[in-house]
Structure 1
């Protein structure tokens, strides 16, 4: 189950844009940054979408502004994890700080978990706006009202007819044409695209650095173990150090390590033969 996925799992290499698209499409939201999900409300509703009816949505505050309000949402999420027996630690103290990388990692895990439950197929019967309107939570009511107003505005724009609608479309088309013909507009779009690419590269670098530190720590632990008193001269420790300290980039040190072990086994066999002869 995805609740036990490790840090090197492919889930943690899913990009920020893909995570945001998944959230916005699933919950009919318009998030532009992963840290906007730091309140924990989004995570609660994603679990509600995956397990309909399990999350008490009336307790989820979508308009929370303070860390205290965020923590209350995460308490709801922790209770849901407990009910479903999901063995996943939620580092609330980090998530409520709204740091991009911490929130991205948790959302990456959550996407992998939800996909493992529903096969990545969206529940077409789930109405995220209606679910946010459930209960008496003031934050949920305000969010519901915003969503309803937005939907009404879209319906008016899309279903309207007559001269006013046509005039609006013509005016919008003229503005778009003027904007597209302006070199400054083109430069602005290019700068925005490059800035977005830079942010994605920064996230990738952070993940790669974390992976590097993870493996370096493992190698350092092995080295310390091999240097322990009483083990340093043991054949296996010597063989491992041959691999760790191999200087040639093209050579892994494996051949030298195998030779050490082979010589050690030969000496053991000779000693056994001498004992049998005696």
Structure 2
């Protein structure tokens, strides 16, 4: 039967980070260098299998992955094992995944007390249990970890429950590690209580990330479609302006352009001119647009729109010259 413990760093003696790391490395034949490396959940899977042999599916554990999705998988494997064992400790997965020192240090302190309260002496090969995989694996150009050693037999305290001794720690640290902690025991919770645990549900976190990813994919597709439409519209109107510019360039000295040609460019679509604007184009025969002529009377201007051609201008000048009769014989 699993013994659940409640741990408080204020009321109970704790180990330093170096002592805890030495203990984890000694139990798992590992080479961890920082408390933050416990955030992957892989070490807890190995320690749980050491504590309760065969209780954790180590084949599903990603020992050396650097991807958060694989870390979430490790915590799911661990929580499934703890649920079957009856461990009622809430696991703050979301906080531990951030790989911050304080959260992972406090959780490892609790696990050490839990381990001491439940460990019974037995032989265990941690390297063989994880398929001979190095933990953590050596990075390219990095220093290789020390060769694997046989797991040492833990020191036997006066009580029936024991925990492995820390072979590489000072004498004072070893005494502190083997000392039986003050614990509060309780009956193993029922399956209903374990199902209602307040710990973070790893499956819910993964589902949340998948939903966010789908929303981002849909948003990206909508934005891509919008940008494509805007670029197409931009090119359409630019081509119209370019056509008008070419038309104005080709006019030459005549400087006469039919309005119909300009409106034909403006109303033209990709499939040609539509029926509504085709009727407008048929009605337009004027060579140039109306010219506004202003006549000033007593400081006021009257606006009349007239269409003036060069022939009409010559005729008006000749008519006004005929109306003026000058007598060359008169002198002033």
TM-score by length of 2: 0.39
Larger radius of gyration: 2
TM-score (norm 1): 0.46
Q: Name the structure where strand makes up a greater proportion of residues.
A: 2
The answer to which structure has the higher helix fraction is 1
